[in-house]
A and B are shown apart, each in its own frame.
Chain A
């Protein structure tokens, strides 16, 4: 099976963010970057599928400047066979622009499956995967929380609001991966060493023109300080009174 996984380099999700001097980007000082969480689930799904279905290849693709090579090598140290960097000076916020670059790369790849994370931690927009699928005119399952692939067909579960749907589709297809499907493996030390010898190709990205631009960034306003109103069930009546009179939510 030939599988592609599109991954992104994003800040560590535990970071306490500060806004940079420009006012339109985070202050990257001291921020650790790594493979995006949802992208790692997608890589894990791809690797498990390759392990299950026998001979094949998993390719990881990332768009961005040279610092994404480290992220591609992490994917390769997890077991991905090769990496492709689509070189761009910066990663635009506009997901459609990124999707165009990825679609141009994936077009001729003859992949059976293309995986994405459901969204990336930084933009939280969830555009790239499904837009890329549409540009490639491939069937797409957005945000699969369960996935089974067998005999050229797939079944997936998607969470709805207060319900879920089961869908079926044929390959080739695109699937964006939700949480809960798989726990990403961490690279073994041998995997890290092996990744150094795996091919990593860099080529210019054919980015679309971004039409979504960041004008500014701000931290959410601090919540006013709250208070502990008491201990044990003795505090309950006071709480109910406050919810009724002060917060007015009861």
Chain B
């Protein structure tokens, strides 16, 4: 029987979707090794503890609450040290966190502090005897690598949306935990948080993504992409490298092998030809729709459904049809 530690990520006092996914993964691993405890650590400003009680829903037995006003923004050094000291003071088989902007920073810090092996961007995990076996999409999603991790604790950073947060409800005990070091004394200080477009989910979380490429011909035509995303209601907007290089959209919107890698339920590619480096970012989407005027465009080879036509004509028609379909619900 072994215990598992989860870093349950928050933004401010709100839990992020990947936190529930990470807890779920830990719960499954704990159940597979004799039913030990899952301890979820949350760090945030006052009130985060209350929000975090809901982690019991996904299987957390204990919620370790690190509350401090300076944890409103990402106090990476203090959090890393706090998690590490907790891991040193108790015995955990593995530490699970999300491979998010925070997780990419925390995971390696923890690995170094604890001298613990780390596997990132994991899409599948099993415990087999003494070792952990994980799957990880490498070479920009072109090759699935199976890795074995030996040693405890193992640090597992899970790909957001790759695991479903499943219910395994229990009443989680809240335990306050003091930050191991002063969160205001970090050497990397957050001086500003710039919020993105309101009302749209992030590319990592969105079930639907509408992405636009050069076929839109001009930056102002991106409005059609945004309108379609709005019609779906829960969609994020992405872009190809071609249009982010031109400055039509910010680099953070770029989907591709050096940009964001996404796996939504539905990916609508508008005016995108389907260059290999773009496909690497979205080919694991569950359903792909492509709209392009060139029948020979490579995107049609990966799309489940394609429409050949002028995007400036087809997209507004699709937006209208989606709005009507949604009204019918």
Contact = CB atoms under 8 A, between A and B. Distances in A.
Direct contact of A and B (CB under 8 A): yes
Contact of B266 (A166, A180, A249): A249
A243 interface: yes
A223 B304 contact: yes
Contact of A226 (B136, B277, B305): B305
Contacts of B171: none
Contacts of A240: 318, 321-322, 325
Contacts of A143: 101, 104-105
A247 B325 CA distance: 14
A127 B120 contact: yes
B105 A142 contact: yes
Interface of B: 11, 16, 73-74, 77, 80, 100-102, 104-105, 107-109, 111-113, 115-121, 133, 136-151, 187-197, 200-205, 207-208, 232, 244, 251-252, 254, 257-259, 265-266, 276-277, 280, 283-284, 286-289, 295, 300-310, 313-314, 316-318, 321-322, 325-326
A129 B105 CA distance: 10
Top 4 closest A-B pairs, CB basis? A134-B112, A233-B317, A180-B251, A130-B108
Nearest to A170: B187
Nearest to A213: B148
B118 A95 contact: yes
B119 A158 contact: no
B251 A134 contact: no
A216 interface: yes
Contacts of A243: 266, 287, 289, 305
A166 B147 CA distance: 35
Interface string A108-142: 00000000001001111111111110110001111
Q: What DSSP secondary structure best describes chain B's contact surface?
A: mixed
Nearest to A126: B104
A126 B108 contact: yes
A55 interface: no
A136 to B, nearest CB: 9
A227 interface: yes
Contact of B139 (A11, A134, A141): A11
Contact of B310 (A132, A155, A218, A232): A232
A150 interface: no
A233 B308 CA distance: 9
B259 to A, nearest CB: 7
Nearest to B17: A161
B318 A219 contact: no
Contact of A134 (B113, B194, B202, B318): B113
A166 B191 contact: yes
